[in-house]
Amino acid sequence: MTYQYGRSRGAGLRGSGPGSHRAPDGQADGHSTQDAASTHNVTGTGNTSPPASAKERILTAAIDLYGRLGFDGVTVKEIAQAASVSAPLVIHHFGSKAGLRAACDAYVAEQFRRTKTESVRRGNLPRNVAHEAMAANRHLVKYLMRAFMEGGETIDAFFDQLVEDSLVYTSEAEEIGLVYPSRNPRHRAVVMLLQSFGSLILHRQLERHLGVSLLDDEPNPEGLDAYMATVLELYTQPVMNAEAFAELLAADAEAHTEATEPGSTQDRSPRS
Amino acid sequence: MTYQYGRSRGAGLRGSGPGSHRAPDGQADGHSTQDAASTHNVTGTGNTSPPASAKERILTAAIDLYGRLGFDGVTVKEIAQAASVSAPLVIHHFGSKAGLRAACDAYVAEQFRRTKTESVRRGNLPRNVAHEAMAANRHLVKYLMRAFMEGGETIDAFFDQLVEDSLVYTSEAEEIGLVYPSRNPRHRAVVMLLQSFGSLILHRQLERHLGVSLLDDEPNPEGLDAYMATVLELYTQPVMNAEAFAELLAADAEAHTEATEPGSTQDRSPRS
DNA sequence: TACCGGGCTGAACATGCGTTCAGTCGAGTG
DNA sequence: CACTCGACTGAACGCATGTTCAGCCCGGTA
């Protein structure tokens, strides 16, 4: 398989050590090039991975950087640097920057699929499936969030799969009395998923207000507790009194119809 | 060497009136340039605005394009084109692209502030304040969502203000029995806001699955109904059975401690 | 041995970007 | 009138980007 992946070349060429991929230019830009390269083996199971081909290194570095800085925020040069290769090699392997992006999408999707089936095969509970997939590798989740923000067919398909899975899990949980039935389970699943991912995307605010960083560092326990407690409360006890809300809605509509001209479709806004 | 342009400019180009700032080139670019220019007066009250200075046109065009394509997805040339001016004029008025961005931030924030105070002064209910601010001008909301994705101190401050407002409104609603108390109202407000905005950011999925486009077009009533009904159900009736969940959590923890070695930081139990 | 082909590189190229420059125009002012 | 000043412009500049090119190194093959 991957024997020496041409690092003999690197060593021979410029007699520095194997890990020394120095930027030839000044490279005043600070952010974590070798950091990205060092975290590349987080991907799979906990094996002590063989020294990772250049192509793999490029892929993982790209995913890491994309997740942290966004797709437009990273150049191929930076990716190449983080992977200890030259920029043209990135093009050589993936055709173009867009090709690299597509490869990242495929890789991440595959990774999540694998994690899911593994977790399911081990007989985990649904919520632990999600929990595991999430905790397993945060940088993949970060990448996913970026992909969600960008949109596109790949992520659409992924989301659809998530909805289907969620539907299955929820119906199972319904049978054992864990979750209550909904008037429209699919709609509920969609909205709940969106809310969850939305909170993840906006985790910056979550960190500022609850002190928990869901995506960046190892989350501190008390912050995580605060977040979990809040979400749990939101999901186990109602926020609003349905009858009072209906009353208010009716009164409001009446007030509107007498204040303004009638016939307009009334607004109904649930949020405070 | 550059005399001849002055002539073409002076003589041929502009025999029309002072207010005619036509784009000299063919303007082949497709996306709604004059649309952006035409929707500039949505901002304030319904006055028939005077023909809008170039600076204003640049600002509103920038907000519109930023909201639709994202900050990195728009060039100053495109903004200038949409505002029917030259690119250097944008720089002339705002110093730089970053300066324009900052001006947009300030403008949008001011606009929301004004809408809010107006709505409050008119004695609207809290939920209608939000509703009005939202419905008033969707493109401002789209801009805001982009800002949320990017992060930054400006949007942080905005979000903080939102939290404070929400807290006030919620406590009022609590007093009239509309909203149930929370163990931590602030945390609840933060998470609920995040969930709401998150759904807005991911409105693409909402549209695909529920058929409602919250941000793009005029939302179709049935789709909006479906979304509102789902959110309302989520907020008026619990999703999960708290006792069953606590039981499951305990059993799960037990299974974990006997399966794996103890002492490891196991699943946090968010209080039973 | 000679040759091939793929991994890989530095240098160079083309393009598009934000910005600068030098200048025109017209309204305002003495 | 002359003079100033700000809005505004086309041309051009500098720079960073994604990509191409010509060629190197080296294991495999005949």
Query: What CATH number is associated with residue B135?
Result: 1.10.357.10
Contact B76, B87 (CB under 8 A): yes
Name the minimum distance, in Å, from the CA of A244 to any CA of chain B.
5
**Residue of chain A with shortest Cα separation from B126:** A272
Interval A110-130 mean pLDDT = 78
Q: At what angle do helices B97-121 and B138-150 cross, to 10 degrees?
A: 130
Contact A197, B202 (CB under 8 A): yes
Could you give the CA distance from residue B131 to residue B255 in angstroms, rounded to a whole number?
Answer: 47
Structural domain boundaries, residue A189:
20-201
On the question of pLDDT at A216 being above 90, the answer is: no
Residues of B in contact with A198 (CB under 8 A): 194-202
**How many separate helices (H) and strands (E) can be counted in chain A?**
13, 0
Interval A100-118 mean pLDDT = 93
Q: Is residue A24 in some structural domain?
A: yes
Q: What is the dihedral of CA B44, B48, B53, B55, to 10 degrees?
A: 20
**Residue of chain B with shortest Cα separation from A72:** B72
In the 8-state DSSP scheme, what is residue B17?
-
Q: What pLDDT score was predicted for residue B208?
A: 95
* B245–A226 CB contact, under 8 Å: no
Say how many C-beta atoms besides its own lie within 10 A of residue B32's C-beta. Answer: 15
B46 contacts: CB under 8 Å, gap ≥ 6: none
Nucleotide nearest to A6 (CA to C1'): C7
A28 contacts: CB under 8 Å, gap ≥ 6: none
Q: What pLDDT score was predicted for residue A115?
A: 86
Q: What pLDDT score was predicted for residue B247?
A: 86
Give the phi and the psi of residue B261 in degrees, each rounded to 5: -70, 145
Q: Is residue B249 in some structural domain?
A: no
B53 CA to C27 C1' distance (Å): 16
The model's pLDDT over A42-74, given as tens digits with 9 standing for 90+, comes to 334 444 556 789 999 999 999 999 999 999 999
**Position A78: which residue type?**
E
Q: What pLDDT score was predicted for residue B217?
A: 72
Of B230, B241, B208, B205, residue with least CA distance to A185: B230
Could you give the CA distance from residue B38 to residue B99 in angstroms, rounded to a whole number?
Answer: 24
Q: Which of residues 51-110 of B touch strand D (CB under 7 A)?
A: 53-55, 84-89, 92-93
Residues of B in contact with A202 (CB under 8 A): 148, 194, 197-198, 201
A7 CA to C7 C1' distance (Å): 10
SS3 at position A107: helix
Q: At what angle do helices B185-201 and B138-150 cross, to 10 degrees?
A: 110
Which of residues B94 and A128 earns the better pLDDT score? B94
Name the minimum distance, in Å, from the CA of B210 to any CA of chain A.
7
**pLDDT-based confidence at A206, cuts 50/70/90?**
very high
SS3 at position A110: helix
Of A230, A53, A35, A83, residue with least CA distance to B183: A230
Q: What pLDDT score was predicted for residue B256?
A: 62
Of A189, A214, A185, A220, residue with least CA distance to A201: A214
A212 CA to D26 C1' distance (Å): 51
Could you give the CA distance from residue A247 to residue B259 in angstroms, rounded to a whole number?
Answer: 52
Residues of A in contact with B266 (CB under 8 A): none
- Lowest mean pLDDT segment, chosen from A186-190, A234-238, B51-55: B51-55
A5 CB below 7 A from strand C atoms: yes
Could you give the CA distance from residue B57 to residue A153 in angstroms, rounded to a whole number?
Answer: 34
Share of chain A above pLDDT 90, in %: 55
On the question of pLDDT at A227 being above 50, the answer is: yes
> pLDDT (tens digit, 0 to 9) for every residue of chain B, 272 residues total?
333 333 333 333 333 333 333 333 333 333 333 333 333 333 334 445 667 899 999 999 999 999 999 999 999 999 999 999 999 999 999 999 999 999 999 999 999 999 888 877 776 666 666 666 677 688 999 999 999 999 999 999 999 999 999 999 999 999 999 999 999 999 999 999 999 999 999 999 999 999 988 887 777 888 888 999 999 999 999 999 999 888 887 877 777 666 544 443 333 333 33
Nucleotide nearest to B2 (CA to C1'): D11
B76 CB below 7 A from strand C atoms: yes
Q: Is residue A246 in some structural domain?
A: no
Q: What pLDDT score was predicted for residue B128?
A: 63
CA B134, B139, B145, B151 torsion: positive or negative? negative
pTM given for the model? 0.80
Q: What pLDDT score was predicted for residue B196?
A: 96
Q: List the single residue in B126, B173, B191 with the smallest CB-CB distance to A234.
A: B191
Q: Is residue A268 in some structural domain?
A: no
Mean pLDDT across chain A: 78
Q: What pLDDT score was predicted for residue A31?
A: 37
Q: What pLDDT score was predicted for residue A126?
A: 63
Q: Is residue B229 in some structural domain?
A: no
Could you give the CA distance from residue A135 to residue A195 in angstroms, rounded to a whole number?
Answer: 19
Contact B227, A191 (CB under 8 A): yes
On the question of pLDDT at A78 being above 80, the answer is: yes
Radius of gyration of chain A (CA): 24
Contact B162, B134 (CB under 8 A): no
Could you give the CA distance from residue A109 to residue B186 in angstroms, rounded to a whole number?
Answer: 36
- How many structural domains comprise chain B? 1
- Lowest mean pLDDT segment, chosen from A19-33, A47-61, A92-106: A19-33
Share of chain A above pLDDT 70, in %: 70
Q: What pLDDT score was predicted for residue A17?
A: 31
Contacts of residues A23-28 at CB distance under 8 Å and 24 or more positions apart, as own/partner, are A23/A81, A27/A81
Best A169, A183, A202 residue to mutate vs chain B (most B CBs within 10 Å): A202
How many Cβ pairs closer than 8 A exist between chain A and B? 234
The tokens describing B252, both together, are 């799960």
Could you give the CA distance from residue A36 to residue A64 in angstroms, rounded to a whole number?
Answer: 6
Contact A82, A33 (CB under 8 A): yes
Could you give the CA distance from residue B263 to residue B266 in angstroms, rounded to a whole number?
Answer: 8
Q: Is residue A36 in some structural domain?
A: yes
Residues of A in contact with B135 (CB under 8 A): 267
**Residue of chain B with shortest Cα separation from A176:** B244
The tokens describing A41, both together, are 């083996």
Q: Is residue A243 in some structural domain?
A: no
Could you give the CA distance from residue B43 to residue A255 in angstroms, rounded to a whole number?
Answer: 27
Best B125, B191, B256 residue to mutate vs chain A (most A CBs within 10 Å): B191
Could you give the CA distance from residue B166 to residue A227 in angstroms, rounded to a whole number?
Answer: 18
* A252–B130 CB contact, under 8 Å: no
Residues of B in contact with A201 (CB under 8 A): 149, 198, 201-202
The tokens describing A50, both together, are 């063989």
Name the minimum distance, in Å, from the CA of B53 to any CA of chain A.
33
**Position B46: which residue type?**
G
Q: Is residue B264 in some structural domain?
A: no
